[in-house]
Amino acid sequence: MQQVHVSVFLGISIDGCIAGEEGDLSWLAELAPDSPEATGYTALMEQADTMLIGRTTYDAVLGFEPWPYAGKRVVVLSHRDFAPRHGEQRREGSVKAVLAQLAEEGCRHVYLDGGAVIRAGLREGVVDSLTLSMLPVVLGKGVRLFDGDLPRSDWQLAETRCLPSGVVQLRYGRSNSKL
């Protein structure tokens, strides 16, 4: 079985928040007006064949117009059932187990999204590429990316970019993975 490449790509505040209080994401667009092409998001979406997202993130993006994952296979990690609106699938289990299932189904590049799923992926050691776009703001309160009991993991800096908005983007790869 071929290994799935797992990418994380997200905006983060200087103090490590990926969402504000009550999951607020409005500060991302306000402080990072760079185009998806400029940030590398478009290139990532062209490479990734599957999105593996958490239920909270799924519920949040359902309200986005247009649907941000059009043309992508979307797998929602959730214990609760839901009615798919765009062909999404629900899976249960560990991130590692779901990735193994996806690999068996032919997936080659999975983009993880959602704080809890990303933290689980980091805990389980399955994330290969971690791109953090650091926005020039301290939120003080909110959803922190590196919250909880994460084990040590070693990363290698692959690229640093300063975007026109002042966002600093850091791309890391696992010390033992291909960037």
Q: How many domains does the chain have?
A: 1
String of DSSP letters for 73-133: EEEEE-SS----SSS-EEE-S-HHHHHHHHHHTT--EEEEESHHHHHHHHHTT---EEEEE
The reply to whether 59 falls in a domain is: yes
The reply to whether 179 falls in a domain is: no
149: domain CATH number? 3.40.430.10
Domain that holds residue 143: 5-174
Whose CA is closest to 87, among 77, 75, 103? Answer: 75
What's the angle, vertex CA 108, arms to CA 54 and CA 175, rounded to 5? 85
Top pLDDT among 74 and 177 is at 74
The reply to whether 64 falls in a domain is: yes
- Quick: pLDDT tens for 19-67: 999 888 889 888 778 999 999 999 999 999 999 999 999 998 888 888 8
The reply to whether 55 falls in a domain is: yes
On the question of pLDDT at 148 being above 90, the answer is: no
- Count the Cβ atoms, other than its own, within 10 Å of residue 89: 11
Top pLDDT among 2 and 135 is at 135
Structure confidence at residue 64 (pLDDT): 85
- Quick: pLDDT tens for 71-103: 999 999 999 998 999 999 999 999 999 999 999
The residue written with tokens 């400029």 in the block is: 38
Angstrom distance (rounded) from CA 122 to CA 128? 9
Structure tokens at 2: 């071929």
On the question of pLDDT at 149 being above 90, the answer is: no
Angstrom distance (rounded) from CA 28 to CA 17? 11
The reply to whether 31 falls in a domain is: yes
Average pLDDT for the chain: 92
28 — alpha (psi -120 to 50), left (phi > 0) or beta? alpha
Structure tokens at 31: 């402080």
